[in-house]
Amino acid sequence: MRVRFTEGQFLGADDLLEEQAYRENAERRHRLGGHTWGIVSGLRLADSRNAFSVASGLAVDGYGRVLVVPSPIEVDVTTEGQRDVWLSFASTSNRGDVTTVCLTPADTLDPRRPPGVPSGDVAYQPQSAVGASPGPWPVYLGRVCWTDQAMRITEDNRVYAGLRGEAVVAPSGRARLQIGAESSTDTTRFAVATEQADTTGNEATPGQAVHGSRLPHTTRLGVDAAGNVSVCGTTTLGGDLVIHPPTQAPADTHTGIRFAHTDEPIAASPWTFYRTRVVRSGRFVDQLRIEIGHPGDGGDPTRNRFVVGTRDAPDVFHPCLTVNADCTVIAHDDIKVRGQLRRSPASVDRNDPRYAGAAVDGFVQGFVGAARGIAGVLTPLAATVSGKDTATPGENFSYTVTVTNSGSVAATSGQIYVTISIAEEAESFETQSFVRLVENATFEPGISDPHPGTFGDLGASGTLKVSALVVAVGPAANVVSATGDFTAAIQ
């Protein structure tokens, strides 16, 4: 209760002490009303020879009293062992209020339940009644360990003063930090909210009304009572996003990123990853989409790609699957199909430079297939292709096709066809040339006939493949054939 004096009243020491006690209690309640007790600043521990020191600083104990250390305090250590260091308030008749450093044997402790504080006072509140001279409420500073003439200090579990309140609001009113629930039905325990923008995209000023009402706040980051975290708005990560399973989850619990359903974007959303629902053939279909930005008519769609690949030990990326912005899908390695593979009819573009190569390949393969079908009754021929293991870009590459007749009779009207193919990537050969190297040749039995050839249109890098098809007429006017090929690296 507030002390009141009257005009002409004689004041004694008790009256002044009562007045001081009133003001002291008021200040304590004020300190604990908007704050929690603990270290405010400083009070760090430092070691020195056979001693340690407490740096200057300030703290507030659980009764709201201020603990001030104006200058460093040095404490001698005389015995080995571990000691907990505390800062405590003390009041003496001759020195007034003082702050002391005390040591206790190291023990498993809860710094928020200091030794010597009555259990009923641990949850002390500003409105709680307290005597003029409550007991000590030590504030934990750390632990010192003195062994073998060496000092070791740990400052774990220090209690720092904090703020007490439901929300922190920016002076402009445009940002708000919520701590705890605002109502009995509110499951939010922590939230960061900002003011919504008006229809022009600008933030409203404090007190500004838009269409007759102040703009509401939107929660950008929230944590509910169950520990779920929600983020609203564009989020940028400065590091890796690592998904861990819940602490109490079973070992076989599946974890990962789940995409909530969102409305299909009205306009293009290049370089986004989202889940939406669309109507196809009168039914709802859920889609997980990755949109690739298309550069438009004036750009090159092959430069915008979605790529799936691997990175090897030398840290080189190797694409496995590529999807270009023009919907071209490229598989860079083998494709294993465990179901049915259906190919729809495709129109032929005779102006496509790949058309000529495909036509020649089809002709050669058809010729080879027909020849192999009757190889069992023909004079046996063998064809080998040889050359250097490497080819130099811009220079001619020489090769030799050797035909061997291992039969007993000659094969006449012999012809040798050569196909030159180049691959910039493994197993992706494209035909560059198809020539008839030899015509009307006779392949005598037991003789190997070499036939040289040259090709000069080499690219910058890749693999060169020379394939030979030998066709001749046997003694019974039947067709005999043989094939061979050779590869060289272009470098």
Residues 88, 137 contacting (CB under 8 angstroms): yes
Question: What's 409's DSSP letter?
Answer: S
Cα 334 from Cα 332, distance rounded (Å): 7
Q: Which residues of 345-373 are buried (b: 16+ CB within 10 A; e: fewer)?
A: eeeeeeeeeeeebeeebeebeebbeebee
The three-state secondary structure class of 289 is: strand
Query: How far does Cα 291 stand from its chain's mean position?
Result: 19
Give me the residues of the chain with pLDDT under 50, please.
199-201, 204-214, 374-376
CA end-to-end span of the chain, whole Å?
A: 97
Q: Return the bridge partners of 456, or none.
A: none
Exposed, middle or buried: residue 191 (CB in 10 Å: 0-12, 13-18, 19+)?
buried
Element at 354 (helix H, strand E): helix 353-373
The pLDDT score that the predictor gives to residue 39 is 93
What's the confidence (pLDDT) of residue 376?
45
CA dist 167 and 179 (Å) reads 6
The domain limits of the chain are 13-160, 261-291, 305-338, 353-490
pLDDT at residue number 213: 35
pLDDT of residue 206: 47
The b-or-e profile of 199-223 (16+ CB within 10 A means b, else e) is eeeeebeeeeeeeeeebebebebbe
353-490 CATH pick, 3.40.50.300, 2.60.40.10, 1.10.10.10, 1.20.1070.10? 2.60.40.10
What percent of the residues of the chain are helix, what percent strand, and what percent coil, each to the nearest 5?
A: 10, 45, 45
pLDDT score, position 165 = 76
Query: Distance (Å, rounded) from C-alpha 58 to C-alpha 43?
Result: 7
pLDDT value of position 446: 86
pTM: 0.44
